[in-house]
Amino acid sequence: MAETYKIVIGLEVHVQLLTKTKLFCGCRNKFGLPPNSATCPVCLGLPGSLPVMNREAFRLALKAALALNCRIASHPGHPPGFTKWDRKNYYYPDLPKNYQISQYDLPFSHDGWLEINVARDPKKEFTPKRIGIIRAHLEEDAGKNTHDESGRGGDTRVDLNRTGTPLLEIVSHPDLNTPEEAITYLEEVRLMLRELGVSDCEMQEGSLRCDANVNIHVPQPDGTHHETPLVEIKNLNSFRAVGRAIKYEAERQYEEFRKDTRGEYRFGKWLKETRGWDDTRGQTEGQRHKEEAADYRYFPDPDLVPVVVSQEQIAAVKAEMGELPQQQRSRLVGQYGLTAYDAGVLTAKGRRTVAYFEAVAAAVGDGKTAANRMSDLIFPALSDRREEIDAFPVPPAGFADFLKKTGPLSKQDRVHLLGHMLDHGADVDRAMEATGIKPQTFDEGTLRAKVAEAVAANPKAVADFKKGKDAAKMSIVGAVMKANRGVPNDVVRRLVDEELAKA
């Protein structure tokens, strides 16, 4: 089926860097402090104050840029590694100097890419896709205005704690084509930056912010396509909102395009429009105060000296970068024979979970089982207990021991046993003792007789199975397991298969 239109999405992501202090002064960089308590003459923009660059912020930004496969300040006509600071001039009360120190024509990094896994059926199929990165640059954050929304016309309050927080802006090429891809890209950026210790990427706290540039390409019979005008969507407060907003906006643009009989609604004929996402109403809305085409009058900040990044610096940052998520996924697949999906799940849980997994896999000698059992048992337990993997009471060796000793048990029994271990701080042997759940010795001949009985007693299930309903088989397995606690699940399955084949 030919698609009615193709969505074209570019994302601008801002992340706050995890430095102790702000980008150009010594104030604390911390969320949630009392308003205006983390301020000084520099970030308040008092006359006579001067900015001094925070080297740690630059190092973290460099780390992120290298992980995004960016080139580091490679600008024609300038020495390698040469980058500078520029002033972006505009008036707003949350910007005390009325200019933002940012980077304009010579960003410290540019021309990179990030590989994401695009899946049509995420359980099976994984297609890597490279999303181009136009540039990543450093800048200072603005403060926060709190407007009176009671409608009684109260004062707007300004909190300048955030002013001067180091901010990394990552601008992607418009290489994303579905809301899901956009979300996957954001998840990959977040995972990578968290793993690298660059940012905590908490959208709720504003340490990750995202604007989406969206338009659609509508194919025409002659093989060309029409492009709709570009829309920048702001006010996206969650990944889910990003997906919903893109979907809504694409549909809205398609409607506009269909209604437009005069061929006016076209890219290039309209100015780029900024629309805000209303999460409650589930729609994008034209910004009431339509900004005039802004002229930021960029020029080099004369208060700061240019930075020249050396090859040694780049090498040092690379050396401490460690394994990136996408590298880790391929390794887990190659080394442990995991499916791409399972590798993806583990990687998404973070480096510490992967380390736990690798310890268990090494001890039991089977990565697939280790991964499956962690998914079945540990991840649900962690979410029930609202716990991180480091705090999980059963260490990898204990869990490996548990797996070895509970191999023949049903999933239900394993859940029960592990539950006891967690509640009582017991090891697997004591848990078995206490609960009485343990692998039973069994005689295959006796078990086969029980299976044969069960098959005979369920003619309907047998008939369903013959019609191709796999689930019918499981009902027989279930019945046998229930009547014979502690018998090994895999043996029962094999016997059921064999008996059904005879039936």
Partner 1 sequence: MSLADKTAAELVALQAAGGASAAEVADAFLAAVRDREPKLRAFVSVDEAEVKRQAATVDAKRRAGQPLGRLAGVPVAVKDVLCTRGVRTTCSSKILDNFVPPYDAHVVERLKAEDAVILGKTNMDEFAMGSSTENSALQTTRNPWDTDRIPGGSSGGSAACVAGRQAPVSLGTDTGGSIRQPAALCGVVGVKPTYGRVSRYGLVAFASSLDQIGPFARDVTDAALLLEAVAGHDRRDSTSVDRPVPVYTRTVNDPVAGLRIGVPKEFFGEGLDPEVETAVRAALKEYEKRGATLVDVSLPHSPYALAAYYIVAPAEASSNLARFDGMHYGHRTKQKADLIGTYSKSRGEGFGKEVQRRIMIGTYVLSSGYKDAYYVKALKVRRLVKKDYDEAFERCDVVMGPTTPTAAFRIGEKSDDPLAMYLSDVYTVSCNLAGIPGMSIPCGFTAGGLPIGLQLLAPPFEEEKMFRIARMYESVTDWHTRRPGV
Residues that bind partner 1 (CB under 8 A): 41, 44-53, 87, 89, 91, 93, 96-99, 158, 295, 297-299, 302-305
79 near 65, Cβ under 8 Å?
no
Q: Which does 242 bind (CB under 5 to 8 A by kind): partner 1, Zn ion, none?
A: none
* Cβ nearer to partner 1, comparing 306 with 419: 306
Q: Is the dihedral of CA 20, 25, 27, 32 positive or negative?
A: negative
Residue closer to partner 1, measured from CB, 267 or 298 = 298
Report, in Å, the least distance between residue 213 CB and partner 1: 21
Between CA 199 and CA 223 the distance in angstroms is: 44
Alpha carbons 428 and 403: distance in angstroms, whole number: 9
Q: Is residue 33 a contact residue for Zn ion (CB under 5 A)? A: no
46 membership: H or E segment, kind and range = none
Do residues 426 and 434 lie in contact, with contact meaning Cβ atoms separated by under 8 Å?
yes
CA 233, 235, 238: angle at the middle one, nearest 5? Answer: 105
Least Cβ distance, residue 40 to Zn ion (angstroms): 3
Question: Is 246 in contact with 212 (CB distance < 8 Å)?
Answer: yes
Q: How far is the CB of 51 from Zn ion (least distance, A)?
A: 10
Nearer to Zn ion, 96 or 344 (CB): 96
Q: Which amino acid is at 289?
A: H
Of 39-68, binders to Zn ion (CB under 5 A) are 40, 42-43
Q: Please, where are the H alpha helices in 269-410?
A: 311-319, 325-336, 340-348, 351-364, 367-373, 379-385, 396-406
What angle, 0 to 180 degrees and rounded to 10, lies between the N-to-C axes of helices 340-348 and 325-336?
130
Contact partner, 43, from partner 1, Zn ion, none, Cβ < 5-8 Å per class:
Zn ion
- Distance (Å, whole) CA 418 – CA 393: 11
Q: How far is the CB of 236 from partner 1 (least distance, A)?
A: 25
Q: Can you tell me which of 23, 27, 191, 479 binds Zn ion, judged by CB under 5 A?
A: 27
Nearer to partner 1, 95 or 324 (CB): 95
User: Which of 25, 189, 214, 377 is close enough to bind Zn ion by CB under 5 A?
Assistant: 25
Q: Which of residues 328-347 bind Zn ion (CB under 5 A)?
A: none
Binding span for Zn ion by CB under 5 A among 38-46, 58-66, 116-124, 467-475: 38-46
Among partner 1, Zn ion, none, residue 98 binds (CB under 5-8 Å by kind): partner 1
Which residue ranges make up the site for Zn ion (CB under 5 A)? 25, 27, 40, 42-43
